[in-house]
């Protein structure tokens, strides 16, 4: 019986240990709360000052330009850069003080997590700046393409402008994600495959659509030296005088009408020259 542990003594020691830990934890808790309170007040004050300063210097004009972009309008979101910068600065300062508070508490896991967030914010800000600049540049290029197409009376100018806009927007998004520390290898590979497929499809489609034109242009190298304007020729059953010959066609005047032959047909038809 003498070998049994003294339960009363064990309980007393346990409670004594808990009390000692609680007594030592209370000052750290109070210190952490004080640090958080100071950080909260300081973050609000700095954010308020920065917000007012940015509004006075006209920093929101950049946000107004962003709001004029079609894709932003469709999102029904009004961007005020002074508010965005103030919020980011507010949370950055608050996280710095939260890190100090968790260090005071001695909770290493929470401290490490908050510290990683603090280190991530500068990367996030750099990525956001890159994204804003990229969107503005993409929109400027889109407007330039549309303006050029309108000056040359190209009907599909708006479509080309949108293609240019989204092309540079995707490049900007991928670059911004990389700046934020996100692995973008899969996105880059997929984007490269997509662009390669579009170029290949365009090349094949354009080649098929323009094969007759290319055939006529090749035929002109063989036919131009054999014929000249003013000659009287007969192509199959059509007889007339050559009034024009260019890179793709030959025009015959046959009485009161004219007949146009694609140059590639001259390689397969019977032609009789009279002078």
More confident residue, 182 or 275: 182
Q: Quick one: tokens of 155? A: 């009907």
Has this prediction a pTM greater than 0.85? no
Q: How far apart are CA 188 and CA 68, in angstroms?
A: 29
* pLDDT at site 1: 47
Q: Are 252 and 240 in contact (CB under 8 A)?
A: yes
Query: What's the CA gap between 135 and 165, in Å, rounded?
Result: 8
d(CA 233, CA 272): 5
The span from the CA of 271 to the CA of 249, in Å, is 15
**Residue 219: pLDDT above 60?**
no
| 25: pLDDT strictly greater than 80 | no
Supply 264's token pair.
Answer: 């590639």
Q: The domain 219-273 is classified under which CATH number: 2.30.30.60, 3.40.50.300, 1.10.3720.10, 1.10.1380.10?
A: 2.30.30.60
Tell me what pLDDT residue 40 has.
92
Contact by Cβ (8 Å): 230, 241 = yes
With H, G, I as helix, E, B as strand and everything else as coil, classify residue 245. strand
Closest by CA to 27, choosing from 94, 104, 95, 103, is: 104
Strands 257-262 vs 271-273: parallel, antiparallel or unpaired = unpaired
Q: What is the C-alpha R_g of the chain?
A: 38
- For the range 268-272, what are the long-range contacts, defined as Cβ-Cβ under 8 Å and sequence gap of 24 or more? 269/235, 269/236, 270/235, 270/236, 271/233, 271/234, 271/235, 272/233, 272/234
How far apart (Å, rounded) are the C-alpha atoms in residues 212 and 209?
8
CB atoms within 10 A of CB 56: 10
Q: What is the pLDDT of residues 84-112, one digit of tens each?
A: 889 989 988 988 888 888 888 777 777 78
């Amino acid at each position: 019986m003498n070998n049994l542990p003294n339960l009363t003594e064990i309980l007393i020691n346990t409670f004594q240990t808990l009390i000692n830990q609680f007594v030592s934890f209370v000052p750290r808790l109070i210190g952490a709360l004080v640090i958080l309170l100071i950080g909260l007040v300081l973050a609000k004050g700095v954010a308020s000052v920065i917000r007012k300063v940015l509004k006075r210097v006209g920093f929101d004009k950049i946000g107004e330009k962003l709001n004029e972009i079609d894709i932003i309008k469709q999102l029904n979101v009004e961007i005020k850069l002074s508010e965005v910068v103030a919020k980011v600065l507010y949370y950055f300062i608050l996280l710095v003080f939260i890190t100090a508070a968790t260090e005071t508490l001695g909770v290493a896991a929470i401290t490490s997590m908050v510290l990683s967030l603090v280190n991530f914010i500068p990367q996030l800000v750099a990525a956001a700046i890159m994204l804003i600049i990229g969107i503005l540049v993409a929109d400027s290029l889109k407007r330039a393409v549309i303006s050029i197409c309108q000056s040359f009376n190209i009907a599909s100018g708006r479509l080309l402008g949108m293609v240019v806009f989204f092309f540079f927007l995707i490049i900007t998004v991928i670059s911004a994600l990389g700046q934020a520390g996100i692995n973008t290898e899969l996105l880059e590979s997929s984007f490269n495959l997509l662009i390669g497929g579009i170029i290949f499809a365009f090349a094949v489609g354009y080649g098929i659509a323009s094969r007759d034109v290319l055939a006529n242009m090749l035929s002109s190298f063989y036919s131009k030296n054999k014929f000249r304007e003013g000659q009287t020729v007969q192509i199959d059953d059509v007889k007339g005088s050559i009034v024009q010959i260019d890179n793709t066609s030959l025009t015959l005047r046959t009485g009161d009408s004219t007949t146009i032959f694609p140059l590639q047909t001259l390689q397969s038809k019977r032609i009789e020259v009279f002078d």
